[in-house]
């Protein structure tokens, strides 16, 4: 009786190993491919940065920063600044006007602006999908 239980247990474990081995192989293949796909897609998303918008509370030309609400954004030489759909500078900032753009987190949790738009959004810059509908009409 004891011998047959041991044989039955060994056969059961062997059957599980045979059935489970191919599944482990598929899981390993998918894990290897998934990070590559995420990096490619993640790189494109990160290119635009995190969006922000609000009223301009302050613009410090000496420190090269702008304050929108309670957040302060660092302006760098890589920051693209626009006003009325045309290139602009930090000198064009007017406290109290609408401002929007995108940023990334830099060293020491600094918010580094990638793109800043002073003033209202130009008519050509609608929400995603609006431009496609207008072209179809």
- Residues of the chain above pLDDT 90, percent: 47
CA distance 85 to 92: 13
Convert the pLDDT of each residue in 49-60 to its tens digit.
899 999 999 999
CA distance 85 to 88: 9
Domain at 49-118: CATH architecture: Beta Barrel (2.40)
**Would strands 71-74 and 65-68 be described as parallel, antiparallel, or unpaired?**
antiparallel
What value does the mean pLDDT take over residues 4-17? 77
Q: What is the pTM of this model?
A: 0.57
Q: Are 93 and 68 in contact (CB under 8 A)?
A: no
- Residues of the chain above pLDDT 70, percent: 68
Whether residue 23 is predicted with pLDDT greater than 80 in this model: the reply is no
Confidence grade of residue 16 (pLDDT, cut at 50, 70, 90) = confident
Q: Are 121 and 84 in contact (CB under 8 A)?
A: no
Taken as a whole, the chain contains a residue count of 137
Check residue 21 and give its pLDDT: 66
């Amino acid at each position: 009786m004891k011998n047959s239980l041991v044989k039955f247990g060994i056969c059961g474990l062997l059957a599980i190993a045979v059935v489970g081995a191919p599944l482990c192989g598929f899981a390993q293949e998918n894990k290897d491919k998934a990070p590559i796909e995420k990096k490619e897609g993640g790189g494109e998303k990160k290119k635009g940065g995190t969006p922000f918008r609000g009223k301009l509370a302050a613009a410090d030309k000496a420190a090269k920063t702008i304050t929108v609400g309670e957040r302060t954004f660092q302006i760098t030489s890589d920051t693209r600044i626009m006003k009325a759909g045309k290139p602009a500078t930090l000198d064009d900032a007017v406290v109290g006007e609408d401002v929007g753009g995108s940023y990334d987190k830099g060293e020491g949790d600094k918010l580094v602006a990638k793109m800043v738009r002073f003033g209202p959004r130009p008519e050509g810059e609608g929400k995603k999908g609006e431009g496609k509908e207008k072209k179809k009409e």
